[in-house]
Structure formats: structure tokens, C-alpha cells
Amino acid sequence: MAEADLALAERVANVRSRAGLDVARILVILGLGLVLFFLILPTLIVVPMSVGTASYISFPPEGFTLRWYIAYFRDPSWMSATWFSLRIAGVTTLAATVIGTLAAIALVRGRLPGKELLQAFTIAPLVVPHIVIAVAFYLTFAPLGLTGNFYGFAIAHTMLAVPYVVITVGAALQRFDPALELAALNCGATRLQAFFHVVLPNILPGVAAGAVFAFLASFDEATVAFFISGIEGKTITRKMFEDIDFNLTPVIAAVSTVLTLISLTLMGTIEIARRRSGAGSDH
Amino acid sequence: MPESSLAQPRIHGSPSSAGRYGTMTSLVLVSPLILLLGIAFAYPVGRLLWNSVFAPEPTLAHYTRIVAEPLYLVVLWRTFQIAFIVTVLAFLFGYPVAYAMARIPGRRAMLIAACVLVPLWTSILVRTYAWIVLLQRNGIVNTVLQETGLTETPLQLLYTQGAVILAMTHVLLPFMVLPIYSTLRNIPDDLAKAARNLGAGAPQAFIRITLPLSLPGAAAGTLITFILALGFYITPALVGGPRTLMMSTLIAQQTTELLDWPFAGALSAVLLTSTLLLAALYRRALSFSKGFSNG
Amino acid sequence: MHGASVSLRELGKRYGCVRAVDRVAIDIRPGEFLSLLGPSGSGKTTLLMMVAGFELPDSGAIWVGDRDITLVAPNRRDIGMVFQRYALFPHMTVAENIAFPLRMRRFSKKKTMQAVADALALVQLGGFEARLPAQLSGGQQQRVAVARALVFEPPVLLMDEPLGALDKKLREQMQIEIKRLQQSLGITVLYVTHDQEEALTMSDRIAVMRDGRLEQIGSPAELYDAPATSFVADFIGKMNFLEGECLGQDARCFEITIGRSSTIVVDRHLASHEALPQRGERVRLAVRPERIELTPHKNQKLSGIVESVIFVGSSRTFLVRLAGGELLHVQSQTTRESYSPSQGERVGLSIPSDCVHVFPQAEC
Ligand SMILES: Nc1ncnc2c1ncn2[C@@H]1O[C@H](COP(=O)(O)OP(=O)(O)O)[C@@H](O)[C@H]1O
Ligand SMILES: [Mg+2]
């Protein structure tokens, strides 16, 4: 019997290699590997560039130094841009999360005339090219003195970020069983109590995810920031844009690494939370 | 970046009407959003378009200028051309990645997902910067090319149309992969097995079953990619040069350098119209995909 | 159309260290309806997947008729299959779904149309050609799946829990229809189910699987009346289990105590294990509820108190607590004359000596 099994194993191996590991398959795997490499390379490349000693971009980077990070943290113009961006992102997160959550509740659970149209309007800022929004915003808000300062940015970025909150919270509300809210009402809760005690705790992961999206939508936003930044009020993205365009120092690599770490940490946390909660169904 | 949510922009109302919020409450709840989008989005964009026709007095001159001057027609044509090439490349690269991500089990699928999601979550500026580092005269690609003896002298890679296409394909690839992945993953494994059982070879099973069923995702992915590519600014602005002017970079040039706002408005109107037309198509594609959702 | 014989020869398959299928040997006769029955995870699907060609076995061979198909590609096997969730192609109409295997075999248009019409008539779905699967009820989808699996006239049909998604009533109706189809076509069916009632109703023979191994194979009556192991006894039909100790034996039967006071006499040939229990050995007894008879209490060897009476239409089930604390299910027909004690009553129990199965205790 054992001999027969060995013979079978051999034949199985033959079939596998015929059906499985022929040249075409190797080529497919190789191609796939190349595409994945192409995808991940630019994110990975900035890390070694940020610790190389040479003051111009060279490859492979030589030596190891943290001086570009130190330069970043010591440079007042980088620091002020960073703080400016963080403050805007903070306010944007707060405003977009509140406004977006309220709207999502109405859009998913409310009786509204023209709901379809409203939903289309809500996602319009995602579809309209940001360059058009940027130019339009500048045209209207510059005369009001609302460019190059905190308030202009807060308005613009909240507008850009709010669709993400509506979509994320809307999806969470859709997964939420309305019968639970009815049960709360049946137990004697008012509409408001039912919302805070039953609905909100259940959609909280969605709200949190929406808040993170809003934060990153503001913090990483570059096109509108390029147009409405001023000499004083300048975001980190605008500062990066300028430096990339005019003087390509390894400090940019250090800033890039920091930005990437922030984004990856935030998004990675959401992704892990999403998988853990089992809601990791669709993207 | 959270833009992956573009893949599912529609919010469906819950089917039961019990326990819904009344019209008044609902209106109060959406009013901040309407106010915000009205003031910060609809009014400025509307005004830009209005100005392109009515400022200072009614005229279509700005639009006729776009059609009349060969330079602008060239830019318009190039924008569509680049967006088209980027979309085709993203589809060719993206479909196999989405397929592998949906069909390969366990750890390796996580690895593929990471390769798709990490760049998506990396700031566009960072990614564009990385491409500059890779493509510049003394950059990594040139270094590798010279060391391996493929070229003698460094090639001009940056500020070319090729560089713009390459970098934009990279930036937009995840937007292609995710919708396709999402439909592929919802196609039960049994279907391809059933096809094989009924006499189809592996390629036949793919062509007749899996591919047609994934078309809605492919349609969504290509349209999102195309729309985003049409209006993309940061990457073409930094990686491209004067010879690769696109609609977005032209609009920026008109406003920041030439201060020709009405003309910029006309250009924006053209860009916006093309985008909205495509977005309407995209919605059609989505509703078309609903017929299959019961697989 | 005639069924072919299917021979599974010492089939084995492992995933890592899990032996999903462990040296299973079954010979299915042409035209036979054979069910694979077992709890979830017992290896039924894996076995079916190997026959269909979606998994390659680690050991053994699969023969259909006089053809070794162990390593043949799935699309070259000519074996019909009905998937658990039907696997109808959602982008094709009913007619296109059923025509699919014929198109793959390059049938002419005319022949295909005729065959599709015949297959639809066979499952009584004429007139549904242009519908999409999403526009059909669960039962109708099930029929389309059957029609698609039969349209290319395969000699063997595999079905993996095909009725699992249907409600009870529809399931019973489909059981009868599938059985009728199988008999009229003479096709060999390998049918997977975890529902023992379904297996008993439909099968010519049942193969009981457990942890990848074949536990017992036989006709429904054989499995019901002579389970080879206490696992089979437990899995098929209702069964009372009692712990006991062998007191002694003679040529014909042996005596077993239950608890402290009661004893049962068991026919020798009903002891399942080859080595008969020795004196003093602990054993496991199994008795079907309908084999136990209740009588008014009069110093019988076995007695108990009726704890509750459950009315199930044609019969009654009595839950009787023995002196040793064991609870027995006793089922008796509801007739006018039958003895029908009420709750709390003390009753005598008599168990015919040829109705008790004896298993070694260590087995479970
Ligand atoms: N693809 C697989 N990879 C690893 N283990 C598997 C796989 N398929 C089945 N198994 C394991 O093999 C055993 C038998 O599974 P299966 O054949 O599906 O049982 P059944 O159909 O009787 O429920 C189970 O323990 C299951 O976990
Ligand atoms: Mg199974």
C-alpha cells in the first residue's frame, strides 16, 4: 500500500506541475511580484533616503544619520507649517465628524424630500476635481480675507472631509438594526436617549473611522492647500510642495517618513479594528 | 488616503419606514451639511463657472479661445490621452493584483493587501516625492541603469510624459484594484468550480464566468481612475514639465501666474463637465451592477 | 442513460496534520443511490471534491466504470454535480445555465436547445428559460441546478447537501423528486448530507463518516437495526444509552446489570464488538425507544417512574426515570387499547433480549 501511495504522490506531483507550475504560471507570478514591488517601492524608498549622510539625493544612501530629522524639528518654518496643519486637521476632524454624523443619520434614517439628490450633493466634493474646487474657493474667499489663515482652511478642509464621514457613518448606520432603537423606545427611552444610549454606542466604530478619514483628508490635503496658503498660514503639504519644487534636500525624506508613519499608524489602527470587529466586509 | 470610499458613494435608505426620523428633524440634522457645502463648495464653484460666461459682461469668448487656440486643444487632448493611458495601465496591472488578493488564501493575501493599502494611505506628496527621487538625473533608476550597463549617460526621465504616466498610474492603481477586488471577492468560489465541473477548462471558466461577473467592479475602477486622472494636480505639477501641461496644471498656471480668472473658469467648466458626465456614467455602471448582486 | 459504478479505493487526504479523509474504500454499484452521512467536519465534502476533481488525493484511487479518474482534470470527468448553494451563474438565464455544459462540449445549437428543453421538462420548469437565477425561488434554483447537472447525461451525479438551504416542507418534496429522477434515469448518485432522516429516506445504502474515516456502510435498515458502533447507533434514529456491567453469559445470551438492582438479558449475537464482554467488564447498552414496552408495575426486573408524556400525534413518548437515575425515552403507538400511564405513575419496563445493542464502554 505504501508503495502505491508513493507512486500516486509522484503522479500527483506530475499533474500539479503540468497544470500548475508551467512557464505561464511562473510568468504570472513574476509579473504580479513586479506590480506589487512597483506599488510598495515609493513608500519604502523614503525611509533609507531620510537617514543617508549625503546632503543630496544619492543611491544607495551612505552612512546613517538622524541629522535630517533634527533639521526638520529645529527649522521654525517646518515646525510652524506642521503645527498649522495639525491645528487645521484637529478642527476639521471635530467639525466634519459632528456635521457628517448628523447628516448621515438624516440621510439613512430620516424622512427627507429629495434624498437621492442630497446624497449626490454630499459626495460631490469627492467627484469634482480638487483643482476646480481650489481655484473656485480662492476666487470667492480671497477677497474676504479667508485665505492664508486658519479659518479659511478650517472651512475648506471641513467641506472636503465631510463626505468621508457621511459615507463611513452612513455605512455603519446601515449595518445597525433599527429594531434595537425601537426596542429602546419601547423601554421608555426618548428619541434622544435612545440615540445616545443605543444608536451611538453601536455606530461608534464607524464614527471613529470617519473621524480618522477626516483627519487624514485634511492633514494630507495638498491641492486646495497649494492655492489658499499664504506666506504666514502655510500647511505642511504646501511647504513640502515648495521644497520639492525648489530645493530637494533629504529633510523632505525625513518629513515624508514622519507623515507616512502618522498615516500608516492611523489607517492601520482602523483596518485592524475593522477586521477585529468582523465588519471587514467591503471597502 | 480614505478616497477608497469612492467605490461606494451611494447611501441606500433602510427599507423599513418604522422608527424613522421625521422630516423636520431630518432637515435640522442635514442643514449644517447643506450650509457648509453650499457656502464652501457649491457657491464658489458656481461662481467660477458663472464668471467664465458673465464676467464682466456676457461672453463666450473664453470658451471660443479654448477651441480656437491649438495650444489649449493640445492640452485638452493630452489630458484625455494621459488619463486614458493611465487607466489602461492601471487596469492591466490592477486586475491581476485584485484577482490574486481575492483568491489567494491566508498570509499571502494579507501581504498583497498591504502592498495595495500602504501606498493608498501614504500622502500623495510623499509618493510623488519618491518618484522624483527615483527618476531624477542622478536618481535611483538612472543609477541602476548605468551600473548594469544598460545606458552610458543618465537619461532624462523626470519632467517627461512617461514620468507623469508612471507616477499617476502608481498613485491611482489602488483605486482600480479595490473595486475590482470587492466584486471578485463577492463571486462565490463555487461558480468557477461549477463551470469546471460542467466541462470548462480553467481559461474558459475565467473568461465565461469570473470575468463577466467582475465587470461591474472593473467598470467602477476604470471610471474612478479616469475621473481622478483627468483632474489630478499634484503629481503632474511636480513630476511633469512644461511639455506635459494638463488641464489641471494649465488652470493653475492661468490663476497663479497669469491671473486670468475668467479663462481659468472656462477651463474648469470644461474639466468639470467631462468629469460629471463620466460620474453619471459611473452611477449607471453601479446600478447596472446591482442586477448581479444576488449571486 | 445508465449509471456507472464508482470505486473509491483507500482514498486519503490530509490538510496539514488533519486527516480530512482517512483511507476510505467504498464501491458504489451502477445506478445506486449512496449517501455519505456524518457530522460537520467528518470529511464528506473533501471526499466529494476528490471525486469531482477539485482536490487531488494523497493516497488511493478513484475509478468510474473501468476508467481511473484519480488525476483527470475536473472538466474531463463527465460527472454531474449539484453544489450546496447551487452555484448557478447569476449573469446567465436559466436556459443559458443549462446550456453551459453542452456549449463546453460543442453541441450544435439545435441539439442544445432540444436538450435544454428536455432537462427543464424533467425538473418541471418548462417556461422558465428566460429568467435569471435571482428571479427564482430557492426550490426553483435547486431544480435548475439539478437540470444543469443532468443535461449532459453524466453517468454519475454528486450532490453536496443540496437541500440544506430549503425549508422542511420543500426539502421533503425535493427528496421525493430527486429520488424519482434518480430511479427513472438509472443514474448513480453520491449524495452528501448530515441529516440522517434524509439519508434514511433516500438512500439505497448509507456510508457513515466520522473524523475522516468510514464508520459503517450498509442499507438504511441495516444501519438502523444493527449499528456497528455506538457512534452509528447514536447518529441514526433515536437511541437510549445505558451504562452496565456484564454479569455472566451462557451459550445464547448474557446478563448485564444496570445500576444496582436491575438486570437485562441480551442476545449474544447483538453484541457488536468481536470480543464479547467478559464477566465484570463495563459495557454500553443501546435500545431504541420504540422497542421498549411499558406495562403496569408488578415487580418487574426493570421499573421506573413516568416523568412526562409527550404527545406526537401517531405516537407518544414517555420519559421514564429508572431507579438508578437514568432517563429512558419510550415510544409507543397511540391506539385505543395501548397501555398509557400518566405522569408520576410507576411502570414496569420490558426490553426484548434481541433488541439491545452492546458496545464496549471505551469507545466513546
Ligand atoms: N481547504 C482546507 N484546508 C484545511 N483544512 C480543510 C480544508 N477543507 C477541509 N478541511 C478540514 O478537513 C476536515 C473535513 O472537512 P469537510 O470535508 O469539509 O467536512 P464535512 O463536509 O463533512 O463537513 C475538517 O476538519 C476541515 O477543517
Ligand atoms: Mg461539507
Q: What is the DSSP string of A252-274?
A: HHHHHHHHHHHHHHHHHHHHHHH
Of residues A245, A70, A239, A224, the one with CA closest to residue A156: A224
- My answer on whether A8 and A119 are in the same domain is no
- My answer on whether A117 and A243 are in the same domain is yes
Q: Is residue B119 part of a domain?
A: yes
- My answer on whether A24 and A99 are in the same domain is no
Q: Is the pLDDT of residue A21 over 70?
A: no
Confidence (pLDDT) at B66:
83
- My answer on whether A244 and A163 are in the same domain is yes
Q: Is the pLDDT of residue A221 over 60?
A: yes
Contact B198 C73 (CB under 8 A): no
Beta-strand relationship, C205-210 and C33-37: parallel
Q: Is the pLDDT of residue B184 over 90?
A: yes
Query: A110 by DSSP, 3-state: which?
Result: strand
- CB distance C331 to C317 below 8 Å: yes
CA–CA separation, C207 vs C216, rounded Å?
A: 6
Residue B285 confidence class, pLDDT cut points 50, 70, 90 = low
Instruction: State pLDDT tens for residues A34-45.
Output: 999 999 999 998
- CB distance B265 to B51 below 8 Å: yes
> What mean pLDDT is predicted for residues B99-103?
92
- My answer on whether A27 and A88 are in the same domain is no
- CB distance B10 to A119 below 8 Å: yes
Residue A59 confidence class, pLDDT cut points 50, 70, 90 = low
Confidence (pLDDT) at B6:
37
> What mean pLDDT is predicted for residues B200-212?
93
Please work out whether the CB of residue C20 comes within 6 Å of at least one atom of ligand 1. Answer: yes
Confidence (pLDDT) at A15:
64
Kindly report the CATH number assigned to the domain that includes residue B110.
Answer: 1.10.3720.10
Instruction: State pLDDT tens for residues C262-315.
Output: 777 777 666 555 556 777 778 888 899 999 988 888 877 788 899 999 888 888
Confidence (pLDDT) at C207:
97
Contact C101 B199 (CB under 8 A): yes
> What mean pLDDT is predicted for residues B26-51?
93
Confidence (pLDDT) at A53:
83
Walk me through the domains of chain C, giving residue ranges and CATH numbers. 6-231 (3.40.50.300), 238-363 (2.40.50.140)
Confidence (pLDDT) at A272:
83
Q: Is residue A64 part of a domain?
A: no
**CA of C44, nearest ligand number:** 1
Q: Which atom of ligand 1 is nearest to the CA of C43?
A: 17
* Lowest mean pLDDT, pick from A139-143, B136-140, B291-295: B291-295
**Which CA distances in Å does A20 have to A5, A12, A26?**
21, 11, 9
Confidence (pLDDT) at A4:
65
Q: Is residue B11 part of a domain?
A: no
Q: Is residue B187 part of a domain?
A: yes
Report the share of chain C in percent with pLDDT over 70.
94
Q: Helices A250-276 & B124-135, crossing angle to 10 degrees? A: 130
CA–CA separation, B189 vs C51, rounded Å?
A: 18
Grid coordinates given for B217: 467592479
To test the contact with chain C by mutation, choose from B186, B189, B197, B204 the residue with the greatest count of C C-beta atoms within 10 A, namely B197
Name the more confident of C47 and C356. C47
- My answer on whether A166 and A255 are in the same domain is yes
> What mean pLDDT is predicted for residues B272-292?
69
Beta-strand relationship, C188-193 and C33-37: parallel
- My answer on whether A31 and A90 are in the same domain is no
Confidence (pLDDT) at B169:
96
Q: Is residue B43 part of a domain?
A: no
DSSP codes, chain B: -GGGGGG----PPPS--TTPBPHHHHHHHHHHHHHHHIIIIIHHHHHHHHHHHHSSS---HHHHHHHH-HHHHHHHHHHHHHHHHHHHHHHHHHHHHHHHHHHS-THHHHHHHHHHHHHHHS-HHHHHHHHHHHHSTTSHHHHHHHHTTS-SS----TTSHHHHHHHHHHHHHHHHHHHHHHHHHTS-HHHHHHHHHTT--HHHHIIIIIHHHHHHHHHHHHHHHHHHHHH--HHHHHH--GGG--HHHHHHHHHHTS--HHHHHHHHHHHHHHHHHHHHHHHHHHHHHHTTTT-
Residue B155 confidence class, pLDDT cut points 50, 70, 90 = confident
Confidence (pLDDT) at B199:
93
Q: What is the count of structural domains for chain B?
A: 1
Please work out whether the CB of residue C270 comes within 6 Å of at least one atom of ligand 1. Answer: no
Q: What is the ipTM of this complex?
A: 0.87
Q: How many residues does chain A have?
A: 283
Instruction: State pLDDT tens for residues A240-258.
Output: 999 988 878 889 999 999 9
CA–CA separation, B62 vs B60, rounded Å?
A: 6
What range defines the domain where residue B69 resides?
Answer: 60-288
* CA C58 to centroid of ligand 1, rounded, Å: 15
- My answer on whether A115 and A205 are in the same domain is yes
- CB distance B255 to A138 below 8 Å: yes
What range defines the domain where residue A5 resides?
Answer: 1-41
Of residues B283, B174, B165, the one with CA closest to residue B220: B283
Residue B271 confidence class, pLDDT cut points 50, 70, 90 = very high
* Lowest mean pLDDT, pick from A53-67, A68-82, A128-142, B269-283: A53-67
- CB distance C161 to C198 below 8 Å: no
**Which CA distances in Å does C202 have to C34, C190, C193?**
9, 11, 11
| Torsion angle defined by CA atoms of residues B234, B240, B246 and B247, in that order, rounded to the nearest 10 degrees | 30
Alpha-carbon torsion (A269, A272, A273, A274), positive or negative: positive
Please work out whether the CB of residue C54 comes within 6 Å of at least one atom of ligand 1. Answer: no
* Lowest mean pLDDT, pick from A8-22, B262-276, C121-135: A8-22
Please work out whether the CB of residue C49 comes within 6 Å of at least one atom of ligand 1. Answer: no
Query: SS3 sequence, chain C?
Result: CCCCCEEEEEEEEEECCEEEEEEEEEEECCCCEEEEECCCCCCHHHHHHHHHCCCCCCEEEEEECCEECCCCCHHHCCEEEECCCCCCCCCCCHHHHHHHHHHHCCCCHHHHHHHHHHHHHHCCCCCCCCCCHHHCCHHHHHHHHHHHHHCCCCCEEEEECCCCCCCHHHHHHHHHHHHHHHHHHCCEEEEEECCHHHHHHHCCEEEEEECCEEEEEECHHHHHHCCCCHHHHHHCCCCEEEEEEEEEECCCEEEEEECCCEEEEEEHHHECCCCCCCCCCEEEEEECHHHCEEEECCCCCCEEEEEEEEEECCEEEEEEEECCCCEEEEEEECCCCCCCCCCCCEEEEECCHHHCEEEEHHHC
Confidence (pLDDT) at B195:
96
Q: Is residue A268 part of a domain?
A: yes
- Strand-pairing partners, residue C350, are C293
- My answer on whether A33 and A104 are in the same domain is no
Summary mean pLDDT of chain A: 87
- CB distance C23 to C10 below 8 Å: yes
Q: What is the count of structural domains for chain A?
A: 2
Grid coordinates given for C30: 451502477
Q: Measured between CA atoms, how close is C6 to chain A, in angstroms? A: 19
To test the contact with chain C by mutation, choose from B198, B215, B290 the residue with the greatest count of C C-beta atoms within 10 A, namely B198
Q: Is residue A48 part of a domain?
A: no
- CB distance C190 to C33 below 8 Å: no
- My answer on whether A35 and A104 are in the same domain is no
Q: Is residue A107 part of a domain?
A: yes
Q: Measure CA B54 to chain center.
A: 32
End-to-end CA distance of chain A: 51
Residues 6+ apart with CB under 8 A from C141: C86, C88, C133
- My answer on whether A28 and A93 are in the same domain is no
> What mean pLDDT is predicted for residues B275-284?
78
CA–CA separation, C299 vs B193, rounded Å?
A: 65
Confidence (pLDDT) at C231:
93
Confidence (pLDDT) at A127:
87
Residue A14 confidence class, pLDDT cut points 50, 70, 90 = low
Q: b vs e for B99-119, b when ≥16 Cβ sit within 10 Å of the residue's Cβ?
A: bbbbeeeeeeeeebbbbbbbb
* Lowest mean pLDDT, pick from A266-270, B31-35, B114-118: A266-270
Least CB–CB distance from C148: residue in B198, B209, B294: B198
- CB distance C208 to C217 below 8 Å: yes
- CB distance C181 to C145 below 8 Å: no
Confidence (pLDDT) at C362:
63
Q: Is residue B243 part of a domain?
A: yes
* Lowest mean pLDDT, pick from A105-114, B148-157, B176-185, C242-251: C242-251
* Lowest mean pLDDT, pick from B57-66, B92-101, B267-276, C289-298: B57-66
- My answer on whether A121 and A223 are in the same domain is yes
Kindly report the CATH number assigned to the domain that includes residue A112.
Answer: 1.10.3720.10
Residues 6+ apart with CB under 8 A from C54: B193, B196, C74
Query: A133 by DSSP, 3-state: which?
Result: helix
Instruction: State pLDDT tens for residues C187-212.
Output: 999 999 999 999 999 999 999 999 99
* CA C43 to centroid of ligand 1, rounded, Å: 6
pTM: 0.84
Instruction: State pLDDT tens for residues A163-180.
Output: 999 999 999 999 888 888
- CB distance B159 to B240 below 8 Å: yes
Alpha-carbon torsion (B232, B234, B239, B241), positive or negative: positive
* CA A3 to centroid of ligand 1, rounded, Å: 26
Confidence (pLDDT) at A255:
93
Q: Is residue A69 part of a domain?
A: no
Q: b vs e for C172-206, b when ≥16 Cβ sit within 10 Å of the residue's Cβ?
A: eebbebbbebbeebebbbbbbbbbbebbbebbbbb
Confidence (pLDDT) at B5:
37
For C60: left if phi > 0, alpha if psi spans -120 to 50, otherwise beta; the answer is: left
Beta-strand relationship, C6-15 and C18-28: antiparallel
Summary mean pLDDT of chain C: 89
Alpha-carbon torsion (C212, C215, C220, C224), positive or negative: negative
Contact B138 A58 (CB under 8 A): yes
Q: Is the pLDDT of residue B8 over 90?
A: no
- Strand-pairing partners, residue C7, are C27, C63
Alpha-carbon torsion (C210, C212, C218, C220), positive or negative: positive
* CA C203 to centroid of ligand 1, rounded, Å: 24
> Nearest 5°: phi and psi at B138?
-105, 35
Q: Is the pLDDT of residue B18 over 80?
A: no
| A 16-75: CB under 8 A from C | 16, 19
CA–CA separation, A74 vs A154, rounded Å?
A: 26
Q: Is residue A157 part of a domain?
A: yes
Residue B241 confidence class, pLDDT cut points 50, 70, 90 = confident
> Nearest 5°: phi and psi at C334?
-90, 95
Q: Nearest residue CA, atom 1 of ligand 1?
A: C15
